[in-house]
Amino acid sequence: MSCSDPIADMLTRIRNASRAGLPAAEMGHSRLKAEIARILKKEGYVADVAESDDAGKKLLRVVLKYDYNEKPIIQQIRRVSRPGLRRYVAAAEVPRVRGGLGTAVLSTSRGIMSDREARAAHVGGEVLCQIW
């Protein structure tokens, strides 16, 4: 079955795995998903991101992080721009998630980057998702 929104599918797999207390979430690989996972790792929301090849099909494995009480680091992860309603922002309007405590992931003309990187580079783009 084909997926009409692979980014939403990725975020849902991560959300479900973290709420279930699983050590990792696996999904089909794409460059966009790998870049989003790289941002999540760089911002400290996930422990590791690994790419594997299972019988000719590339997979992306996201190892989740938990605090000392076994509570997931990712409290909320949600899709902002979706196929039915795209959300674009100018460089001056890049959102601050939870007053700077969270992270927004943007697709810009310079590639996939976090809200902090987009503000520093003075670029806007499509707001893919928000994490806190």
Task: Give the pLDDT of the chain (132 residues) as one tens digit per residue.
Answer: 567 899 999 999 999 999 999 999 999 999 999 999 999 999 999 999 999 998 889 999 999 999 999 999 999 999 999 999 999 999 999 999 999 999 999 999 999 999 999 999 999 999 999 999
C-alpha to C-alpha distance for 77 and 56, rounded to whole angstroms = 30
3-class SS of residue 59: strand
CATH architecture of 6-131: 2-Layer Sandwich (3.30)
| Amino acid identity at 58 | K
Q: Which of 95, 11, 8, 81 is nearest to 46 (CA)?
A: 11
Stated pTM of the model? 0.93
Distance CA 81, CA 46 (A): 22
